Amino acid sequence: MIASRSVRTHPRIPLESVIMPPAPITFERSRTGHRAAMSDFMDKAKDYAEKNDDKVDEGAERAGELVDKRVDDKYDKAIDKGVDEVQQRTRGGDTV
């Protein structure tokens, strides 16, 4: 009985929670759960790109310039090709 009093820290906290803390909450995810979450994310990204193609184009251009600067224009042609591809895809999907 003396040991239980020394462990107990507060009168409103049940002794069981002091001695045996609750198990951590875990989330079990299956592969299909991850795929479904990624699919949902991709759908939202596509919707955003279709509705805001000018912002996506500007962001791709700025990202390309930043990468060019970081790698000292070493991959200039590949970066320009990627930026052009993004801009072609978004301009074709303008729905607004």
The kind and range of the H/E element at 14 are: none
Its pTM stands at 0.52
pLDDT one-digit tens code per residue, 44-86? 888 888 888 889 899 999 999 999 999 988 899 999 999 999 8
More confident site: 44 or 31: 44
The kind and range of the H/E element at 11 are: none
More confident site: 82 or 34: 82
More confident site: 13 or 88: 88
Contact of 91 with 53, CB cutoff 8 Å = yes
